[in-house]
Amino acid sequence: MKEIFFATSNKNKYLEAKAILENFNIKVKWLKGKYPEIQAESLEEIAAFTAKWVAEKTKKKVFVEDAGLFIQTLNGFPGPYSSYVYQTIGNTGILKLLEGETKREAFFMSVIAYCKPSSKPITFTGKVHGTIAYEVRGDKGWGFDPIFIPKEGKGKTYAEMGPENKNKVSHRRKALEKFGTWFSKQCNNKD
Amino acid sequence: MKEIFFATSNKNKYLEAKAILENFNIKVKWLKGKYPEIQAESLEEIAAFTAKWVAEKTKKKVFVEDAGLFIQTLNGFPGPYSSYVYQTIGNTGILKLLEGETKREAFFMSVIAYCKPSSKPITFTGKVHGTIAYEVRGDKGWGFDPIFIPKEGKGKTYAEMGPENKNKVSHRRKALEKFGTWFSKQCNNKD
């Protein structure tokens, strides 16, 4: 089984990645901590910087994950700063910004950045398209889950679907599966 | 005259800093470029990281400046991400978030971080308290200037005051003056 370190402060993310990557015969170890994230307009750039930083610091093969909600009519806001925006204006703020707005298309995106020491980072993207609900719905999620209705969700928000169903179709799962497919094909323990 | 480098991509900021610091017998040179900024909830942390990064990279004594608008009733939003928030939802978005809200207190904050190679960064803060206007007013500013009414502004927004009057009382001026006072007192060219 190939081994890799996941640098994150979020235990739930670690457990989710561990379960998904086991299907690819990859053993995920938790590199628990908070690592520097840069300010940039693309999640790829942000995740790549952190992955490189952690790989050089620890001399290990690592990956990091970053995600965001991009609302079309708000020019991609809150995008890379979703976590900060959630903590300050929350779902209520997003709904207020969209009051009277019928164009409610949005997507959730997850980026995995992988890096080994002295190498360039490589990124893998998972995207789920959907719309922003007209009100907060469901209590089985976190963050923007109660206002995001994925196309595949039969009209339910992520928070109404609950983690098990959400994780079957989620943006994070898609990114992890792309990464798992690629990583499991690399020559034995060389990458 | 003591010399120091200002790392910024913004020519206007450079010219403003140069003019203000001349009063302290400090010659500012422009280190033009974009430098990595981390994601953090305090401007001090963000500016300190960048100053340290540039000082180590260039082996020069440098300072950087970062600023943000903090709106009390929005838990400090847009804060450290003011520039991104301005580019996406703009003044219109902020006004929409505050619709029906009479508590409109806010402050603009500027942080200067100074660093020399192999040292810890030092930060200097300038703050201007005020309120958020009920509509966009004035065309002589940029960013959130048309919606911010400083206490010292006699009811005018920064954008109605115009750059000359704004710069007399601005958050950036306050931070630069604190830094200038401190830096000019350091032993000759040692700091």
Q: Does A76 touch chain B (CB under 8 A)?
A: yes
- For residues A167 and A75, give the distance between their C-alpha atoms in angstroms, rounded to a whole number: 27
Q: Half-sphere exposure (CA, 13 Å, Cβ side) for B66?
A: 28
Q: What pLDDT does residue B189 have?
A: 52
Is B75's CB within 8 Å of A89's CB?
Answer: yes
SS3 B180: helix
Q: Does B88 touch chain A (CB under 8 A)?
A: yes
Q: What pLDDT does residue A186 have?
A: 85
Q: What pLDDT does residue A167 have?
A: 86
The contacts of residue B162 (CB under 8 Å, 6+ apart) are B140, B141
Closest CA of chain A from B39, distance in Å: 5
DSSP letter (8 states) at residue A93? H
The contacts of residue A33 (CB under 8 Å, 6+ apart) are A7, A9
Which DSSP helix (H) or strand (E) runs through A45?
helix A43-58
Q: What pLDDT does residue B12 have?
A: 84
Does domain A2-185 fall into CATH 3.90.650.10? no
Candidate from B36, B75, B88 with C-beta closest to A76: B88
Name the nearest CA neighbour of B62 among B88, B85, B94, B33: B33
Contact (CB, 8 A) for A77 and B85: yes
Task: List per-residue pLDDT tens for chain A, 191 residues long.
Answer: 899 999 999 898 899 899 999 999 999 999 999 898 999 889 999 999 999 999 999 999 999 999 999 999 999 999 999 999 999 999 999 999 999 999 999 999 999 999 999 999 999 999 999 999 999 999 998 899 999 999 988 999 999 998 889 989 999 999 999 999 999 998 655 55
- For residues A99 and A96, give the distance between their C-alpha atoms in angstroms, rounded to a whole number: 5
- For residues A71 and A63, give the distance between their C-alpha atoms in angstroms, rounded to a whole number: 26
Helix, strand and coil content of chain A, in percent to the nearest 5, comes to 40, 25, 30
Q: In chain B, what are the domain boundaries?
A: 2-185
Q: Does A99 touch chain B (CB under 8 A)?
A: yes
Q: Indicate if B139 belongs to the active site.
A: no
SS3 B176: helix
Helix, strand and coil content of chain B, in percent to the nearest 5, comes to 40, 25, 30
How many Cβ atoms are within 10 Å of A164's Cβ, its own excluded?
8
Task: List per-residue pLDDT tens for chain B, 191 residues long.
Answer: 899 999 999 898 999 899 999 999 999 999 999 898 999 889 999 999 999 999 999 999 999 999 999 999 999 999 999 999 999 999 999 999 999 999 999 999 999 999 999 999 999 999 999 999 999 999 998 899 999 999 988 999 999 998 889 989 999 999 999 999 999 998 655 55
ipTM confidence score: 0.84
β-bridge partners, B112:
B65, B124
Q: What pLDDT does residue A190 have?
A: 52
Is A97's CB within 8 Å of B97's CB?
Answer: yes
